[in-house]
Amino acid sequence: KAGVTQTPRYLIKTRGQQVTLSCSPISGHRSVSWYQQTPGQGLQFLFEYFSETQRNKGNFPGRFSGRQFSNSRSEMNVSTLELGDSALYLCASSLEGITNYGYTFGSGTRLTVV
Amino acid sequence: KNEVEQSPQNLTAQEGEFITINCSYSVGISALHWLQQHPGGGIVSLFMLSSGKKKHGRLIATINIQEKHSSLHITASHPRDSAVYICAAPPLRGDKLIFGTGTRLQVFP
């Protein structure tokens, strides 16, 4: 079966712009969670969506937002980009949620803000 | 203090050596996860365990719930094991993962 697909793989944006990243989960998975990975902070949880509802949120500013569609595909948006937003953004898909079920990561979107 | 701590941060080994990576956590968790990340960024889930020990090929993961400690062992290490190994703990409340800082392993032939 198809894995978790993240698009685009690479992105270069200018400070102040906004960006939208996409994550298509494994078919049948209803939970999608997003993570940011930077050399300084490591992996950090952004938010988790389940059946189109945000169920959990990490400690990130309101510039970071997301949504989930009825087909479970999820998007995350970062507005007013800052240099510090340069990172690898990963999503993970799970049947019901990461806590008690297996999950699969996508390959990530590498965002560079210049 | 991080809620999930890993050691060592960096590890080099000769092919064939036995490797141990440690993870300690301070939060109450339902399970402990071990992840592997190769250069390029892709992350693979290796183990999810809530008690005892799990084995998959040359990889063994153990957890001691009372001591809030887990270890990942690699027997007969190989250069293809070179990667960053990350432990992650989902708190009892909330569907998210708290990550350790990762251990960068390099295995030389």
Here the tokens at position B9 are: 């941060």
The list of chain A residues with pLDDT below 50 reads none
- Give the residue carrying structure tokens 């063994």: B60
Q: Is the pLDDT reported for residue B96 higher than 90?
A: no
SS in 3 state form for B82-109?
CEEEEEEECECCCCCCEECCCEEEEEEC
Nearest CA-CA partner of B32 in B86, B76, B84: B86
CB neighbour class for B58 (10 Å; exposed up to 12, middle 13-18, buried from 19): middle
A73 contacts chain B (CB < 8 A): no
A55 contacts chain B (CB < 8 A): yes
Q: List the single residue in B31, B86, B94 with the smallest CB-CB distance to A43.
A: B86
Cα dihedral sign, B4-B45-A106-B38: positive
Q: Give the pLDDT confidence score for residue A77 in this predicted structure.
A: 98
Residues of B at the A interface, defined by Cβ within 8 angstroms: 30-31, 35, 40-45, 48, 86, 88, 90, 94-102
Contact B41 A48 (CB under 8 A): no
Q: Is the pLDDT reported for residue B83 higher than 70?
A: yes
Q: Is the pLDDT reported for residue B93 higher than 70?
A: no
Q: Which one has a higher pLDDT value, B3 or A12?
A: A12
Q: List the single residue in A58, A102, A105 with the smallest CB-CB distance to B96.
A: A58
- Shortest distance between the Cα of B107 and any Cα of chain A, in A, equals 22
Q: Give the pLDDT confidence score for residue B97 in this predicted structure.
A: 80
Q: List the single residue in B41, B48, B95 with the smallest CB-CB distance to A88.
A: B41
Read off the pLDDT of residues B14-69 as tens digits, 9 standing for 90 and up.
Answer: 999 999 999 999 877 878 899 999 887 788 889 988 899 999 999 999 999 889 99
The DSSP line for chain A is ----EEE-SEEEE-TT--EEEEEEPPTT--EEEEEEEETTTEEEEEEEEETTEEEEE-S--TTEEEEE-TTS-EEEEE-S--GGG-EEEEEEEESS-TTTS-EEE---EEEEE-
Here the tokens at position B74 are: 């690699």
Q: Give the pLDDT confidence score for residue A21 in this predicted structure.
A: 98
A64 contacts chain B (CB < 8 A): no
A49 contacts chain B (CB < 8 A): no
Nearest CA-CA partner of B42 in A107, A110, A9: A107
A60 contacts chain B (CB < 8 A): no
Q: CB of B101 within 8 A of CB of B23? A: no
Q: Which one has a higher pLDDT value, B90 or A90?
A: A90
